[in-house]
Structure 1
Amino acid sequence: MTRVTGIGGIFIKAKDPEMLQNWYKKHLGIDVQAWGGTSFKWVDGERKPYAGTTAWMIGNGENFAPSESPFMVNYRVDNLPGLLTALHAEGCNVLDKTEESEFGKFAWVIDPEGNKVELWEPPLGE
């Protein structure tokens, strides 16, 4: 079974999210949107777009709980239910909460260092 297929997003916890968002916008040219981040579109070696995005966001980190880490990585997966079954069988600390929306299916696991990891199965064609 294929597990992780790429990085779906990077989320950064900040003491002052608005200030840090503005810094990244001004100094690195990242198009920070009203929701606190941006979606980088995927391109091939010839810079031609193809399906897929990677989210990047700065916020207050409330959604990182129970982790106290200043970041959370979102990994794209092909088969979230199958992966969760495998992770449970392997004794991983899989959180009970899952979500499904127009953005896809989400679940979380805590790694051995206490970092919350987000698993995301995007909608078909994304």
Structure 2
Amino acid sequence: MGVTGIGGFFFRAHDPEMLGAWYAEHLGVGSGTGGPWQTAAGPLVFAPFPATSDYFPEDRGFMLNFRVDDLDALSARLTAAGIDVVTNPDWDMPGVGRFARIHDPEGNPIELWQPD
């Protein structure tokens, strides 16, 4: 027997309550209080990156990647809420999917991925 999935993602925040509420409101992640939420089954990539990678900001040790089912609708909703959504056609990969990036209020990078 081995690992069967990720049971949680825990990270430090300057204002955990505010940040939990932001994730719940804008991305539907968690309950806003750190409670569990049920996720849809699907692919999950676990990939350490080289320390010199420019895939996400050098001053951050991680980047969250969330699978989404409608990147355009979510991007429009986030933009309407004043959240900067960055897209780049070079990030999109046929057979893999489309991508966009945002940052949470504490500057943590988040990649949104709509699988093909």
SS of 1:62 mapped into structure 2 = coil
RMSD (CA atoms) = 2.2
Residues in 2 aligned to 1:55 and 1:96: alpha-carbon distance in whole angstroms: 20
Who is 2:82 aligned against? Answer: 91
Q: Check conservation: 2:87, 2:99, Cα contact below 8 A.
A: no
Give the equivalent residue in structure 2 for 1:110: 103
Structure 1's consecutive aligned runs of 4 or more residues displaced over 6 angstroms after TM superposition are: none
Q: Show CA shifts across 1:58-80 (max 9, x none).
A: 11242013x62100111000000
Q: Which has the higher contact order (CA 8 A, sep 6+)?
A: 1
Q: 1:105 to 1:96 in 2, by over 3 A?
A: closer
Cα deviations by residue, 1:20-58 (Å, 9 ceiling, x for unpaired): xxxxxxxxxxxxxxxxxxxxxxxxxxxxxxx72110011
Q: 5+ residue gaps in structure 1?
A: 1-6, 11-50
Equivalent pair of 1:95/1:110 in contact (CA under 8 Å): no
Which structure's residues are more often strand, by fraction?
1
Q: Percent identity?
A: 38
Q: Is the 8 A contact 1:110 1:116 kept in 2?
A: yes
Unaligned runs of 5+ in 2: 1-5, 10-40
- Higher-Rg member (1/2): 1
- Corresponding residue pairs, total: 74
Read off the aligned partner of 1:121 and give its amino acid letter. Answer: Q
Match of 1:36 in 2: none
